[in-house]
Amino acid sequence: MSTQDSEDRTIRCLVAKVGLDGHDRGAHVIARAFRDAGFEVIYSGLHKSPDEIVQAAVQEDVDVLGISILSGAHNTLVPKIVEGLESYDAFEDTLVLVGGIIPDEDRDELYEMGVDGIFGPGSSMAETIEFVRENAPER
Amino acid sequence: MSDLIEELLAGKHRALARVISKIEDRSPGYRELVSQLHEHTGNATVVGITGSPGAGKSTLVDKMAETYRERGETVGVIAIDPSSPFSGGAVLGDRIRMASNVGDMDVFFRSMSARGTLGGLSTATTDAVKALDAFGKDRIIIETVGAGQNEVDIVGTADTVAVLVPPSSGDDVQMLKAGILEIGDVFVVNKADLDGADRTVQELKEMVHMRDASPLAGTAGHHGVETDAVGEEDEDETDDGDDDTWTPPIVETVAKTGEGVEPFLDTLADHRAWLETSGELTEQRRDRYEEEIRRLLREGAGELIREEIERQGGLDRYVDTIVAKETDPYAVTEELLAPLRESVRE
């Protein structure tokens, strides 16, 4: 890396598992794909509370927060995370993504909450990475 | 003063996080930010934790932070992980082990990637430590990547360096062969409940005493062969009444259960006290500021040279002539430096 002031920022992501669901294969796969795309990925580990995710997102100053939920609890967990980010003035410039099992009828509500993208089981990795590259917030 | 620094000094976590990002990214204006931090630094103690992968660094750091918090102190942690030499990406996985401190914003844990460069890393780490210090953290812990030369770099930032050695880490304590022995102010045999721990402690003691006996170690004698009983150090033994020397104590911990962590922190405090009373701390700080000026000068000079090269239309033309044996790299360098040299000597 040059020692000059650089315009190129490394995109930082938090891949978060929140709540009770204990399956994190998908989260591992996305973490690794993000790494291979040149992002810096912080993986939260399983069974985190919304507060813990917010703490990590704020301290690590991530550009992207990817929340993986398979348990169906997205309608209760995601709003708590959004509120938490707002309380630290961190919501505005964080790209919030939700991945996992999200029924179609719940999607609009998540988008209204401020979620920027939803990636279900059919989504391709390339598509997700492209979305992050294009939408990672300018700071 | 910039708004961001004002917010940082006012205790806003978001501002602290953002300042560290700007430092890591070398984003435009980061130098001014770091410069504004300087007058607010100098209150934190900085400890470096290093050792081979799997030695239990993250777990120990977690327990250290927990213990400091119990004592009412605030903590900043910088954990460094390697980055991919191919994509530049990284998975920063140490945060996951900070289980004792979740939900406690007074432990500010920040993951940093090596981003491919060693020198760059130590610059960014040094500057990030300044941000945490100015923010008001009492204790700052730097956890290194655990593989390679970064371990030695950490000396440039930490007041006290603790080297973790897992039990039975090779019959000759392999990791001690290159570099690590010289940088340890304290040695920690973590996982002390495992077989082989006693032997590792013994080997370390021998190493430390050999170091003391070597001509490089100055006049320090063989003090206290029986020193540093397991997990509890005795300050009289570690400095032997002689304020000029410090013999690295060897402590044992079981980070998973928290055993030995209190005595370990006391040992760190002893080292810090020794740094202060011996005048070593002042000396260390002066050396570091001097080195920092040199580094910034090198960076600045490098930039001037880049500008000059650009003004000359890039290096391609020169490389062509070198390949054609019309000139050589030394002559080209001389030619490029000439105008700079002239303007300096004028």
* B269: pLDDT strictly greater than 60: yes
CB contact under 8 A, B113 and A40: yes
Contact present, B261 and B226 (Cβ < 8 Å): no
A5 vs B22, B87, B90, B128, B333, CA distance in Å? Answer: 10, 21, 21, 16, 24
What range defines the domain where residue B309 resides? 294-345
Shared domain for B333 and B192, answered yes or no, is no
Mean of the pLDDT values across residues B195-213? 81
Sign of the CA dihedral with B24 first, then B26, B28, and B30 last: positive
Chain A residues in contact with B110 (beta carbon < 8 A): 59-60
Pick from B169, B190, B118: nearest CA to B148: B118
pLDDT for A22 equals 85
Same domain for B116 and B202, yes or no, is yes
| pLDDT of B242 strictly over 70 | no
The shortest C-alpha distance from A29 to chain B (Å) reads 12
pLDDT, mean over chain B: 84
Give the lowest-confidence range in A75-79, B30-34, B205-209.
B205-209
What would the pLDDT profile of B61-72 be if each residue is shown by its tens digit? 999 999 999 999
Evaluate whether residue B34 is within a structural domain. no
* CB–CB contacts below 8 A, A to B: 114
Within-domain flag for B197 = yes
Neighbours of A99 (CB within 10 A): 22
- Say how many C-beta atoms besides its own lie within 10 A of residue A86's C-beta: 13
Q: Indicate if B268 and B210 belong to the same structural domain.
A: yes
Which residue in A has a C-alpha nearest to residue B100's C-alpha?
A: A52
Whether B139 and B275 map to the same domain: the answer is yes
Choosing among B4, B25, B145, which should be mutated to test the A contact, i.e. which has the most A CBs within 10 A? Answer: B25
Judge: B110–A41 Cβ closer than 8 Å, yes or no. no
E strand segments, B75-205: 75-81, 90-92, 107-113, 139-143, 160-165, 186-189
Share of chain A above pLDDT 90, in %: 71
Same domain for B215 and B129, yes or no, is yes
Cβ atoms of residues B187 and B204 within 8 Å: yes
Residue B331 region, left (φ>0) first, then alpha (ψ -120 to 50), else beta? alpha
Q: What is the dihedral of CA B32, B5, A12, A51, to 10 degrees?
A: 170
pLDDT the model gives residue B104: 86
A122: number of Cβ within 10 Å = 6
Cα–Cα nearest to B271, from B162, B165, B190: B162
In a domain, B31, yes or no: no
Do the Cβ atoms of B17 and A55 come within 8 Å?
A: no
Q: Which of B275, B292, B280, B50 is nearest to B161 (CA)?
A: B50
Residue B289 lies in a domain: no
Q: Is the pLDDT of residue B163 over 60?
A: yes
Residue-level pLDDT at B177: 57
- Residue B210 counted as domain residue: yes
DSSP string computed for A20-59 = S----HHHHHHHHHHHHTT-EEEE--SSB-HHHHHHHHHH
Q: Check whether residue B228 and residue B136 sit in a common domain.
A: yes
How far B220 CA lies from chain A's nearest CA (Å)?
41
Which among A35, A49, A60 is the nearest to B110, CB-wise? A60
**CATH code at B48?**
3.40.50.300
Q: How many domains does the structure of chain B reveal?
A: 2
Closest-CA residue of chain B to A28: B91
User: CA A25, CA A22: separation in Å to the nearest integer?
Assistant: 9
Given an 8 Å threshold on Cβ–Cβ distance, is B89 in contact with A39? yes
pTM, rounded to two decimals: 0.85
Residue B49 lies in a domain: yes
Q: Looking at the predicted complex, does its ipTM rise above 0.85?
A: yes
Is B198 in the same domain as B313?
A: no
Nearest residue in A to B82, CA atom: A40
**One domain, residues B112 and B195:** yes
What φ, ψ does residue B161 adopt, rounded to 5°? -110, 120
The reply to whether B186 falls in a domain is yes
Q: For B36-82, how does the pLDDT look when each residue is reduced to its tens digit (9 = 90+)?
A: 999 999 999 999 998 888 889 999 999 999 999 999 999 999 998 88
Do B123 and B187 lie in one domain? The reply is: yes
Q: Write the residue in B17, B24, B29 that is nearest to A59 by C-beta.
A: B17
Chain B: closest CA distance from residue A11 (Å): 9
Per-residue tokens: B329: 């790299």
- Indicate if B198 and B56 belong to the same structural domain: yes
Say whether both B75 and B219 belong to one domain.
yes
* In-domain check, residue B19: no
Q: Is the same domain home to B298 and B198? A: no
Over residues A89-131, the pLDDT tens digits come to 999 999 999 998 899 999 999 999 999 999 988 888 999 999 9
Q: Do B120 and A37 touch (CB under 8 A)?
A: no
Contacts of A61 in chain B (CB under 8 A): 14, 17-18, 20-21
Structure tokens at A56: 């990590």
CA–CA dist B253, B270 (Å, integer): 17
pLDDT of residue B93: 81
